[in-house]
Amino acid sequence: MEPEKVPEVLKSKINFKVFALIIAGSIAFQTFIYFAAEFHDFNIEENLAFVSMSLPLIVSVVSFFIAHKYGLSQVFGKSYLFLALAFFCFFLAEVAYYVYDEILEIEPYPSIADVFFFALYVFAAIHILINFRFFKTKTLTAHKLLFIAIPLAIFSAYSFMSLEEIGEANFDFYYGIVFVAGAAVTLSLAALGALVFRGGLLGIVWAILLIGLLGFAIGDLWYYYLELYGEYDLHHPVNLFWYAGNWVIIYALYKHSRAI
């Protein structure tokens, strides 16, 4: 049986009520976790670990579903396979982080979990680049400048804030720079995709995907800034951006699966 062809038109609208629900739900969950921390008989770590592992796994499974629908002979089959791999690596990273932190009681930063966290950026970037190559989308000079400007702005902001606080470029600074760069480039690619596909075949999906990746980028930047001082914990509000980012990307995948 031949896989379905890439559709000629993807017609859909963004339901902003979904975004409101995602934001409200993430804030409510984080607020619950904050107050639940006062009750020692409630195992917060295990419950948070379940949420942190399940969300990227859901993204991965849905992405695999889309990839399977098209097969590897189609652009969506290839690109969504890499997106599935990206979030499966994210799932493995969360598992490794939990094992180090809660079971082995070893500091999870740095650890093997970081390898999987970085793989998320690599595979997500490949997902975007496959779509660029297939659709042979022409990018304007202004778009290319934006692609360069976003990583530079993020890189500069992180470097300035970090060096201002610690006063020197130590191991944590350089280690964090690697992941900040990965998040910045992936976000820049997603922004470029949202611009060049605007109003076209992938317009709505790219717009939603960009918002989800933006949440991840903000969360990652904040996280690596916190790690410079060892201030991150499972109750910190930075987690809001990862929770919301996962759900927004799930929404983007839902919109794509409904459209095809």
Give pLDDT, residue 6: 47
Give pLDDT, residue 154: 87
Cα–Cα distances in angstroms (integers) from residue 205 to residues 48, 156, 175, 241, in the given order: 29, 29, 32, 19
The 10s digit of each residue's pLDDT in 29-77 is 888 887 776 665 567 777 788 888 999 999 999 999 989 888 876 788 8
User: Is-contact 99 91, C-beta < 8 A?
Assistant: no
Give pLDDT, residue 4: 46
Give pLDDT, residue 3: 46
The 10s digit of each residue's pLDDT in 162-190 is 888 778 888 888 888 898 889 889 888 88
Low-confidence ranges of the chain (pLDDT < 50): 1-10
Give pLDDT, residue 245: 92
Proportion of the chain in helix, strand, coil states, percent, rounded to 5: 75, 0, 25
Give pLDDT, residue 226: 84
Cα–Cα distances in angstroms (integers) from residue 64 to residues 70, 71, 72, 76, 233, in the given order: 10, 10, 11, 10, 31
- The model's pTM: 0.85
User: Is-contact 150 184, C-beta < 8 A?
Assistant: yes
Cα–Cα distances in angstroms (integers) from residue 91 to residues 34, 94, 116, 224, in the given order: 23, 5, 8, 19
Give pLDDT, residue 1: 44
- Domain ranges in the chain? 16-259
